[in-house]
Amino acid sequence: MGFDFPFLSVITLSPIAAAIIILLLPKEREEAARMLGLAASIIGLILAGWVYYAYNQAIPSFASGARWAETLLFVEEYQWIPSIGFGYIAGVDGLSATLVLLTAIVGVGGVLISWRIPDRPREFYA
């Protein structure tokens, strides 16, 4: 199963990108801030659901007694400053795939539960 799309990076960075956009919105655009916050959290939930599903579909292909590093999927590795070994590595195993999904569920739930907060929604959703 090839995973060329950077699922984990998009799950991580989409709320950050949405927060920056929300903060740039005019204060009068409260509904747009809510909708953008919800959209970013739903994108994260959909991708997290896919990561969880795909990981669980791949479990039978792991040999019994496989080392932990061999069970990592969705591995992304980016070297930012190679001369000093500074980079970014992300991947999921069985436990972290579950936690990524649960975090996304809580994120969507948090946005929906806080939908009627009247005080500074732009800052709240950012």
Domain boundaries along the sequence of the chain: 7-125
Per-chain mean pLDDT for the chain? 88
Query: pTM of this prediction?
Result: 0.84
25-51 residue pLDDT tens:
998 888 899 999 999 999 999 999 999
Side-chain-facing half-sphere of 114: CA atoms under 13 Å: 20
> What residues have CB less than 8 Å from 38, skipping those under 6 apart?
108, 111, 112
Contacts of 20 (CB under 8 A, 6+ apart): 126
Q: What is the pLDDT of residues 47-93, one digit of tens each?
A: 999 999 999 888 766 666 667 667 788 889 989 898 998 999 999 98
User: How far is the C-alpha of 63 from the C-alpha of 120, rounded, in Å?
Assistant: 52
Burial of 73 (0-12, 13-18, 19+ CB in 10 A): buried
